[in-house]
Amino acid sequence: MRILQLNFEKGWRGGERQTLLTMRQLMLAGHEVELLARRGGELARRASELELMVHECDNALDVCRFLLGRRRQYDVMHAQTANMMTWLALLRPWLKARIVFTRRTAFPIRKNEARNAWKWRQADALVAISDAAAAEPRRLGLRVAVIPSAIEALPLNTAHLQAFARQHQLEGRRVLATAAALTEEKDPLTLVRAVHALSRERDDFIFLHLGAGGSQEAAARELVRELQLESVYCFAGFQEGVENLYRLMDIFVLSSRFEALGSSVLDAFLYGVPVVATNAGGLAELLADGRGLSSEVGDPEALAANMAKVLDDPALRATMTERAQRYVTREHDPATMAARYLELYAGRGGLHI
């Protein structure tokens, strides 16, 4: 098949990593795969470095021109982001390809329900990465195929890991960390308060906040100053090759209010890091059966108590990581993910009601 993947995000987060992973797996299966991405974006750069076929566009008008000009060249057009699905929906009458959309968020639809339902109905196959991400389309009467995100282990860059550890003076300290943008849905303020609660009981750790900025960055930094956590809570920013840094962690923590699945949690599972998180959306599914400890959204004291429990109980850590590693290799295999997408691309299941 000739397959076009579409992702117009500027930065590099879980959805962009999944786009590249999907492309590579589809190519390994013998298909022709190309990418439509934002010019100068991180996804376009990384795809080019991997010598994948990338078509870069500057804006929505460029996207529409490309799609109309190439409408007969692809068997499948797969939108990996909501904005790209919007343009595919609007151009649907002129496009010849089978249209697939993957929903990667679990936000409730509070307005424009009819518009969203119409847009999603233009897809020949609608996919969600978890039952949490599928909930809103299903509520609006759509049939959704759930295909979880996949994860693959990457080679360790020892030099990067050692340089980062020296830079942040990690030797002799327990390392707790998150990998999340400073946005409202990730709830960094609850995370800061949880770290503050933990710091009142012990002083043997440092907390690393890995991830890009966002709407809550100023408030989070101010709260760290207000609670006098500067020596404990480190805003480490976006890190190239963040996968290396999981090897430094004693606990991975996520405080999300909304989470469709949680690709950073899958990374923690894969690299043997115990996870403490909220029960938002798909996180409850990931942490079930003893794979991690969860607490209610917005409860910093419970989050802190779970962090302390994991730090103090080696047997619990070992049980959690063993179960999590077994689960992630079984349920989030890249080749299995690609095979399920190929079934949808071929028209075997996933059609809307």
Q: Span 73-97, mean pLDDT?
A: 96
The CATH class that applies to domain 158-331 reads alpha beta
| pLDDT of 213 strictly over 50 | yes
Q: What is the CA radius of gyration of the chain?
A: 21
* pLDDT tens-digit readout, 20-76: 999 999 999 999 999 999 999 999 999 999 999 999 999 999 999 999 999 999 999
pLDDT at res. 103? 97
Handedness of CA 266, 272, 273, 277 (dihedral sign): positive
Q: Give the CATH number of domain 2-150+333-345.
A: 3.40.50.2000
Integer Cα distance of 161 and 182 in angstroms: 23
Query: What strand order describes the sheet that includes 32-38?
Result: 53-57, 32-38, 2-7, 76-79, 98-103, 125-128, 145-146
Q: Count the Cβ atoms, other than its own, within 10 Å of residue 33.
A: 22
The conformation of residue 216, written as its DSSP 8-state character, comes to: T
pLDDT at res. 13? 87
**Angle ∠(250,296,333) on CA atoms, nearest 5:** 55
Q: Span 217-222, mean pLDDT?
A: 98
* pLDDT tens-digit readout, 163-193: 999 999 999 999 999 999 999 999 999 999 9
| pLDDT of 329 strictly over 80 | yes
- Fold equal for 2-150+333-345 and 158-331: yes
Which tokens hold the place of 8? 């117009």
pLDDT at res. 351? 42
* pLDDT tens-digit readout, 110-139: 888 999 999 999 999 999 999 999 999 999
Give the closest residue to 181 by CA, choosing from 237, 137, 232.
237
pLDDT at res. 349? 52
pLDDT at res. 352? 39
Give the closest residue to 21 by CA, choosing from 341, 348, 349, 347.
341
pLDDT at res. 350? 45
Residue 1 vs residues 30, 32, 63, 154: alpha-carbon distances, Å: 8, 6, 22, 28
User: pLDDT class for 353, splitting at 50, 70, 90?
Assistant: very low
Q: Span 15-24, mean pLDDT?
A: 95
For the chain, give percent helix, strand, coil, nearest 5.
45, 20, 35
- Specify the pTM: 0.86
Q: Span 333-338, mean pLDDT?
A: 94
Q: Span 152-160, mean pLDDT?
A: 91
Residue 133 vs residues 8, 101, 148, 168, 298: alpha-carbon distances, Å: 20, 12, 10, 36, 20
Task: Write down the domain spans for the chain.
Answer: 2-150+333-345, 158-331
Residue by residue, DSSP assigns 137-151 as HHHTT---EE-----
Whether the Cβ atoms of residue 148 and residue 341 lie closer than 8 Å to each other: no
How high does pLDDT run on average in the chain?
95
The residue that leads in pLDDT, 208 or 14, is 208
Whether the Cβ atoms of residue 210 and residue 236 lie closer than 8 Å to each other: yes
Whether the Cβ atoms of residue 187 and residue 255 lie closer than 8 Å to each other: yes
* pLDDT tens-digit readout, 278-324: 999 999 999 999 999 999 999 999 999 999 999 999 999 999 999 99
Q: How many CA atoms lie within 13 A of 20 on its CB side?
A: 19
